[in-house]
Amino acid sequence: MRNLTRLKSLQALEAAGRHGSFVGAASELDVTSAAVGQLVRSLEDWVGYPLFRRTRSGTERLTPVDEAQDALEDIAQGLDRLEAGLRKLRGRAARSVVVVTASQALVANWLLPRLNEFAVLYPAIDVRLDVSDRVIDLGQGEADIGIRCGLGSWKGVKATYLMGEEIIPVCHHRLLPQGEQATAGWIAEQTLIYDGTAHPGGGFPTWAEWLARAGANQAPSHRGLKINSTAAVIHAAVAAQGVALVRKALVAQELESGRLVQLLPERRWPLKWAYYVAASPKALRRSEVGAFHDWLISKGVAQTGE
């Protein structure tokens, strides 16, 4: 049970003892000397005896009485420790860290390729990535910003639309038929890679559904590959292990670099789900979080324009 009171007076007492004057202490504490004097005298009234001997001349007007001198050592140490603690509390804020959470696939394939631009624009802001496929509670401050795929109606957080998403078939160009365009029928005969992390209710098609809509007469072949990681699905496609149905945003780099080829581009399957930038209102009040948020949105807009 702690019994501690008159913290401001203790602070004033310690500074006055160190400076030997209220004026000196006031300068350090950035208040008037009258304020320091009142705090000390208030403490003297409370303890019941004078804490300083006063002289009317010289620069050292205040000499602690023995009891006060003894106590001042403890008080000074206490204030030192409090200051150390406060410095630690402020340490993170001083570095302007934004903690961003997103799935591995999005981080690896969409965010990381762009993040260097943010670092150039805002050199004083550190971005810490919390890569996780689990849902992180932004309301509880586990992260400042989340990039999430969904309908954008999460409680307690502000969700801003980033970009839409569609499902596309892709494969490595080594698998393409020679001298011909790929057809739905052709796709039906290939090794088809399944993404086992597809979210229910998000409108993700199975291969059968996609082929049917694409007008293929055949059911999917039995040579399938089911993988429980979106990132690994993409990796397998890049390794020419088959044709994969993937979210377009997550393979943007691969399409651009030519490591993957989109098949039947005229066949589109937009998702009901989209990507949103989510953050708690509290976190958004911090300038570095706001800056990152706005930059992200601008990347989304640029993406939509492509």
Partner DNA sequence: TCTGTCGAGAAAGATTTTCTTTCTTTTCGA
Partner DNA sequence: TCGAAAAGAAAGAAAATCTTTCTCGACAGA
- Of residues 34, 65, 135, 151, which one binds a second copy by CB under 8 A? 65
Within 8 A by CB and 6+ apart from 245, the residues are 167, 168, 169, 192, 193, 194, 195, 205, 207, 210
Contact between 9 and DNA per CB under 7 A: yes
Binders of a second copy in range 219-258 (CB under 8 A): none
Quick one: tokens of 197? 């992390």
User: What does the alpha-carbon distance between residue 131 and residue 163 come to, in Å, rounded to a whole number?
Assistant: 20
**How far lies 269's CA from each of 51, 214, 266, in Å?**
80, 10, 10
Nearer to a second copy, 96 or 241 (CB): 96
Contact between 1 and a second copy per CB under 8 A: yes
Torsion sign over Cα 59, 65, 69, 72: negative
User: What does the alpha-carbon distance between residue 77 and residue 190 come to, in Å, rounded to a whole number?
Assistant: 74
Contact between 84 and a second copy per CB under 8 A: yes
Question: Number of residues in contact with a second copy, rule: CB under 8 A?
Answer: 53
| DSSP per-residue letters across 97-119 | EEEEEE-HHHIIIIIHHHHHHHH
Binders of DNA in range 136-175 (CB under 7 A): 155
Give the x/- contact pattern for DNA in 33-72, rule: CB under 7 A: xxx-xxxxxx-----------x-xxxx-xx----------
Report the first-to-last Cα separation within the chain, whole angstroms. 64
Is 144:291 a contact under the CB 8 Å cutoff?
no
Give the x/- contact pattern for a second copy in 135-174, rule: CB under 8 A: -----xxx--------------------------------
- Of residues 83, 166, 256, 294, which one binds a second copy by CB under 8 A? 83
Contact region for a second copy (CB under 8 A) — 62-70, 114-122, 165-173, 256-264?
Answer: 62-70
Tell how strand 158-163 and strand 274-279 pair up.
antiparallel
Nearer to a second copy, 75 or 291 (CB): 75
Residue 49's binding partner out of a second copy, DNA, none, with CB under 5 to 8 Å set by partner kind: a second copy
User: What does the alpha-carbon distance between residue 98 and residue 293 come to, in Å, rounded to a whole number?
Assistant: 10
Residue 33's binding partner out of DNA, a second copy, none, with CB under 5 to 8 Å set by partner kind: DNA
User: What does the alpha-carbon distance between residue 227 and residue 195 come to, in Å, rounded to a whole number?
Assistant: 5
Q: Contact residues for DNA (CB under 7 A)?
A: 6-9, 12, 21-24, 26, 29-35, 37-42, 54, 56-59, 61-62, 155
Q: Contact residues for a second copy (CB under 8 A)?
A: 1-8, 10-11, 15, 28-29, 43, 45, 47-51, 53-54, 65, 67-68, 70-75, 77-86, 88-93, 140-142, 282, 285-286
